[in-house]
Structure 1
Amino acid sequence: MNKFVKILVIFLVAIQANAQELNATVTVNSDKVPGSNKQVFQTLERSITEFLNQKKWTNKNFKSQEKIQCNFTLTILEQEGSNNFTGNIQVQSSRPVYNSSYLTPIFNFKDNDFSFRYTEFENLQYNPNSFDSNLVSVITFYTYMVLGMDGDTFARNGGTEYYNSAENVMNQAQQSSYIGWNQNDNGVTRFRLITDILSGAFSNFRVAMYNYHLLGLDIMHNDKLESKEKISNSLKLLKTIYDRRPNAILVRVFMDAKSDEIVNIFSDGPRFETDKLKDDLIRMSPTNMSKWNSIN
């Protein structure tokens, strides 16, 4: 290989490295699966990591410091035969807060209905026009959810194109027999998650995501009291969703990501009246009551 070709290869690799959007960490936990041959799970972990981090998911270029930090944790509970697996997947993502070293959690979602077929060393590829693999479809769906959630924190409705892509994944997957893609599936499903987030009835969730992060957290370095007011107003927007739909999945999604952070924000810094805020939080997320009561 001559010098020019070497330089060109290095240049192209550098472009590719800076083009991708995700800095994803993948963990495949197979502790519940009996047997000593764990090689297939190690291969699966590497394959998903490469799929997430090497694929170009958007038409935007992300600098290395702009890549979205996220975690995909697959817990395998059962293995049937050599290539059928059942378990759950938890997806978490975060983004930096302006002018700080703090990473704020954006998305924290656990999907308990995850089953798939996988043959070791198979190539993971996503085709937006067909359903080929539940493994690929689920991973792709949550990738677009991560991108959408992140986009909504930087611009008003900034995640719409990614949510539309997630909806397309769902539409293609509905032809399969896998649970989680269809309206009649029970529980907190992928169908409910993407349908609600694109519904006008829950538009205040996306407004709250924008106000909380860009108008609230991102000014924390400059004016902590104003930041608290913006964040408090964002939580009031969520309360309007709860008042109309107490079992709204998006309120739970928000609290699963943000409960610890909310406590830290309103327990530190300049004094802010929190009595009404605490009442609202207890109503919206009673499972976190002990956390809300610790706000002082």
Structure 2
Amino acid sequence: MHKWIGLLLLVGFSYTAKAQELNCKVSVSFDRITDANPQIFKTLEKSLQDFVNNTRWTTRNFGRSERIECSMLFNISAYDNNSFTAMMQVASSRPVFNSTYQSPVLNINDKDVSFRYNEGENLIFNPNSFDSNLVALVAFYANMIIAVDADTYSEEGGTDYYQAAQNIVSISQSGGKGWTQQDGNQSRYFLVNDVLSNTYKPFREAQYAYHRVALDKMADNQKEGKEKAIIAIKKLAELHKVRPNAFLTRVFFDAKSDEIVAMFSGGPNVPINELQDVLNRVSPMNGSKWGKLR
């Protein structure tokens, strides 16, 4: 009896340790498509959901409770003969220590998405080959989600996963828009190459300092946590000096702007005049939000 109990515990532990990294909600919106069988889009959604959540993206051991909460939305704008054109919205969050709050970490809108998909086809990721643009897109953003999440827990903790995403970019050069230098400075190519460049190191420093040093300390000392968050945001001003209007700065504030307003709109007061100046300088697109800080 004891032997069987031990075996069951071992199997249960192994299952937990080998859980996949992502707990991802995948949605396929096709409201604008009126001349196709809706079943193809429903099948695509299920295939993507299974692919993202059942693929082992790293060699790290994740417990089921440690899986990263994230979402991928494919908003289909055109469909013809198994060819899809879409916008892809990718978002992720991570828990804040000693709280029930999930802090948004990533919120990216990729407008250059096109792929082919045959209903019922298997989606399989091979890191050493380009098999389809759909697989490459999902694999790229899966690694980006894991990388940014890791950077919020340890300094430059996401490097291996950024490099995996960079490798996907390298093998996907013929996959369509978004994979090459010629596709603009807000392409997938520049997203991951900028992150790995020393020039953009303040972005990664800010991610760690904001989440691990500031947010994760809020439960113990909210005033100190706010002060640490200001220091983290100031790191993006360092990046702004050498790369004004950097894509990565926008990536940070696309995820964080509402949270920053909420953080500094209640609780213990801290001086925010300098913070407002920094925010208006590095993220002027969110100026209406920064005006709400009190």
TM-superposed deviation, 1:116: 0.3
Give 3-state SS (helix, strand or coil) of 1:112's partner: strand
Aligned equivalent of 1:106: 105
Give 3-state SS (helix, strand or coil) of 2:42's partner: helix
Provide the rounded CA distance (Å) in 2 between the counterparts of 1:12 and 1:141.
31
Aligned equivalent of 2:234: 236
Aligned equivalent of 1:253: 251
Q: How many residues align?
A: 288
Alpha-carbon contact 2:91-2:107 (below 8 Å) kept: yes
The one-letter code matched in structure 1 to 2:15 is: I
The one-letter code matched in structure 1 to 2:208 is: Y
Moved over 6 A (4+): none
Alignment map for 1:188-227 (pairs within 5 Å): 188-227=186-225
Aligned equivalent of 2:24: 24
The one-letter code matched in structure 2 to 1:219 is: K
Q: Percent identity?
A: 45
TM-superposed deviation, 1:31: 0.7
Give 3-state SS (helix, strand or coil) of 2:86's partner: strand
The one-letter code matched in structure 2 to 1:47 is: S
Provide the rounded CA distance (Å) in 1 between the counterparts of 2:36 and 2:55.
32
TM-superposed deviation, 1:16: 6.6
Alpha-carbon contact 2:245-2:282 (below 8 Å) kept: no
Residues 248, 61 of structure 1: CA spacing in aligned structure 2 closer, same or farther, 3 A cutoff?
same
- RMSD of aligned C-alpha atoms? 1.8
Q: Say whether residues 1:173 and 2:157 are aligned partners.
A: no
1:276 to 265, 274, 277: 274
Provide the rounded CA distance (Å) in 1 between the counterparts of 2:190 and 2:30.
28
So what's the TM-score if we normalise by structure 1? 0.93
The one-letter code matched in structure 1 to 2:225 is: S
Give 3-state SS (helix, strand or coil) of 2:183's partner: coil
The one-letter code matched in structure 2 to 1:287 is: M
The one-letter code matched in structure 2 to 1:94 is: S
2:290 to 282, 289, 292: 292
List runs of 5+ in structure 1 lacking aligned partners: none
TM-superposed deviation, 1:33: 1.2
Provide the rounded CA distance (Å) in 2 between the counterparts of 1:45 and 1:203.
36
TM-superposed deviation, 1:103: 0.1
Provide the rounded CA distance (Å) in 1 between the counterparts of 2:33 and 2:185.
25
TM-superposed deviation, 1:279: 1.2
Aligned equivalent of 1:148: 147
So what's the TM-score if we normalise by structure 2? 0.94
Provide the rounded CA distance (Å) in 2 between the counterparts of 1:219 and 1:100.
10
The one-letter code matched in structure 2 to 1:69 is: E
Aligned equivalent of 1:68: 68
The one-letter code matched in structure 2 to 1:73 is: L
The one-letter code matched in structure 1 to 2:163 is: N
Provide the rounded CA distance (Å) in 1 between the counterparts of 2:62 and 2:128.
26
Give 3-state SS (helix, strand or coil) of 2:160's partner: helix
TM-superposed deviation, 1:203: 0.5
TM-superposed deviation, 1:187: 4.9
Q: What are the superposed Cα offsets for residues 6-42 of structure 1, whole Å, 9 maximum, x if unpaired?
A: x98x947981795111100000001111225111111
Aligned equivalent of 1:37: 37
Provide the rounded CA distance (Å) in 2 between the counterparts of 1:61 and 1:130.
25
- Which stretch has the larger CA shift, 235-244 or 181-190? 181-190
Alignment map for 1:50-129 (pairs within 5 Å): 50-80=50-80, 82-129=81-128
List runs of 5+ in structure 2 lacking aligned partners: none
